[in-house]
Chains A and B, each alone.
Chain A
Amino acid sequence: MSSAIQSNVVHSGRVARVVIHVVLLIAALFYLLPLFVMLINSVKPLSQILDGNMMSLPHVWTLKPWSEAWSTAQIGVEPTGLRPYFLNSIEMVVPAVAISTMMGALNGYVLTKWRFRGDTFLFGMMLFSCFIPFQIVLIPMARVLGILGIAGTVPGLILVHTVYGLGFTTLYFRNYYAAFPTELVRAAQIDGAGFFRIFWRILLPLSGPIIVVAVIWQFTNIWNDFLFGSSFAGQGSQPMTVALNNLVQSSTGSKPYNIHFAGAIIAALPTLIVYIVSGRYFVRGLMAGSVKG
């Protein structure tokens, strides 16, 4: 990987390199500044923020805003903190990501290795779903959830996100499996492996990079979604994003900015972790095409 990058490097002059580094450094600082502000203000007492000093380091370092945001802050009318909503989000994200990734993989497998009449058209329709704005599906989706009797529940949200993510995951896996040698599938057929056996034993074990791509994509989208969460969640199933909004909206009197900052970071933490853990594979997966047999 790194050697491949190195061999692509064109050697530039020393001056050019210094200029490039300075520019990159400034850009990095610019983008890191908001994070810095959030971080330092989340460990400051509120009084210091209200004194009007957003940029200065805390005089007194405290983790109290974090613990309050997590367990006691006022969310809407209840002083529950973000904790129950964080758990709601986990309960929603994990199955939704798993189901949409698995179904995307199966779709990709069928669309490339078990072709049938009209498969390209079907794939085109699924791709089309990627371009439908969220807002358009709100009302029909609400109807469907109502009919199924899962409106306002976590399973309802799982269904919404799975359906909405299927276009993307199918796209990823279809393109990945298109480059997958068909002779492998044929060899497995002769060996006596059936539809699911070939999928489980041959294709899935070789799909690591694209699974990572699909999981990251789905995880960040579903975790960060606000519109579906605020439209379809009931009292007991609101996800983190909705709760964060309620936290910021619901305070009366002087706003506890330090708690808001801490809450925002907590809300962003899971996606951050997913990126840090598997970001490398993400890039690799986007670039990887074929499995060399």
Chain B
Amino acid sequence: MGFLDISNVTKSYGSVEVLHRVDIAVEEGEFLVLVGPSGCGKSTLLNMIAGLEGITSGEIAIQGRAMNGVHPSRRNIAMVFQSYALYPNMTVGQNITFGLEMHGTPKPEREAAMKRVAAMLQIDQLLDRKPGQLSGGQRQRVAMGRALVRNPDVFLFDEPLSNLDAKLRVDMRTEIKKLHQSLRTTIVYVTHDQIEAMTLSTRIAVMNKGYVQQLGTPKEIYDTPANIFVATFMGSPAMNILPTRVVLRDGVPHAQVSDAAGNVQYLRFSQQNLAAWDGREILLGIRPEAITDPEGADRKSANIQMLTNLVGVTEPAGSDTFVTMTLAGCDVIGRMRADAAVLPGASFEYAINMEKAVAFDPATEERIAP
């Protein structure tokens, strides 16, 4: 049993079920990120943890205490909203202490708590201003201050960074991470941004269409995605997915692919149990960083397969150069070192790290476990 237990929880609006049997156990001090495309039910689940939405069936418990039907203010949670939801008619100071006031905390204590939080978030000089007079980043800080001041058991964040511009978003991301590292409070954080999910979380729940697709550490999610959806949703550029046939050569499974010129080439699998798929189609998943120039290949890998193919488009991105080629009829993206000599239209030798390749069952789109 975890610190925050979501057991068999479903949510329906009328006859439409938008969350299906969600099971997540969050340990104390964890940073759980719920990530998924818009409309997949992340906010709904978060609001159910907060008590802002009813639970259709199942149970949500915090520290072993069932929360079904408990009022939001009695769950000892704090929430940061996407719009920040600062009270426009109150000053920053009043915004931060409103919750304490509602809980009957005496004024001197409220003031002290406000000072402590304001110092922590460096918003001391803003306390007398109204939210309308603040920049986006400052509002974000105040919203976090309002959550922090309560000393909650669980912090809930609903896309807190999506209204900020790109640079500020990265800065605030770092700050939220720092905050978590110093406070060690349990956090459930909703985002549709897979980079935020990867960088912030200790564990990720990838959601789609009301189902939790996979629950795991960022590394598990990234390296061993449970299905095609998770594989392509997490990571940028997305994982290459190509239809290939498995063939046995000297008893070892290989992926049979045709290159841009239509010639058949073979890539040896590291995953031995694919031998069972001999002669059948699978979907082969390779991340762009597993397709490199020979010098850029991972030296620790025991299975680098070389493949000569025409270069399609090159996109220098400063630190790396992304190269597109046609393989098995698909556009496949690889990530080269910035100074690799790749010329569009020319032939080039690619190094493919097949240790990192994943195979999916084309019928179920589930990963074929090794």
Contacts and interface: CB of A to CB of B under 8 A. Distances in A.
Contacts of A190: 50-52, 72-73, 77-79, 99
Contacts of A227: none
Given A187-B79, A189-B73, A293 B85 contact: yes
B103 interface: yes
| Interface majority SS (helix, strand, loop, mixed), chain A | helix
The listed residue with most A CB atoms (<10 A of its CB), out of B47, B81, B84, B103, is B81
B99 A183 contact: no
A291 B88 contact: yes
Contacts of B102: 191-193, 197
Interface residues of A, number: 19
Contacts of B103: 192
Contact of B72 (A181, A189, A197, A293): A189
Given A192-B103, A202-B89, A206-B88, A183 B131 contact: no
Interface in B79-101: 79, 81-89, 98-99
A171 B188 CA distance: 39
Contact of B85 (A187, A192, A193, A205): A187
Contacts of A206: 88-89
Interface string A161-186: 00000000000000000000101101
Given A205-B89, A206-B88, A183 B82 contact: yes
Nearest to A190: B72
B172 to A, nearest CB: 18
A191 B131 contact: no
B87 A192 contact: no
A293 B84 contact: yes
A184 B146 CA distance: 13
Contacts of B98: 188, 191, 193, 201
A269 B72 CA distance: 51
A184 B85 contact: yes
Contacts of B132: 292
Interface in B31-72: 47, 50-52, 71-72
Given A183-B82, A293-B131, A192 B89 contact: no
Nearest to A207: B89
B87 to A, nearest CB: 6
Nearest to B139: A293
Contacts, number: 65
Interface centre among A181, A186, A205 (most CB of B within 10 A): A186
A114 B132 CA distance: 26
Residue among A184, A190, A206 with the most chain B CB within 10 A? Answer: A190
Contact of B87 (A184, A186, A189, A292): A184
Contacts of A291: 88
Nearest to A205: B89
B99 A293 contact: no
Given A192-B103, A206-B88, A292-B132, A186 B81 contact: yes
Contacts of A202: 87, 89
Interface string A197-215: 1000110011000000000
B141 to A, nearest CB: 15
B251 to A, nearest CB: 61
A183 B85 contact: yes
Contacts of B47: 186
Contacts of B77: 190
Contacts of A187: 79, 81, 85-87, 146
Contacts of B131: 293
A183 B83 contact: yes
A202 B131 CA distance: 14
A200 to B, nearest CB: 11
Given A191-B73, A192-B73, A293-B131, A186 B99 contact: no
Contact of A192 (B50, B81, B99): B99
Contacts of B88: 206, 291-293
A293 B143 CA distance: 11
B213 to A, nearest CB: 27
B76 to A, nearest CB: 10
Interface of A: 181, 183-184, 186-193, 197, 201-202, 205-206, 291-293
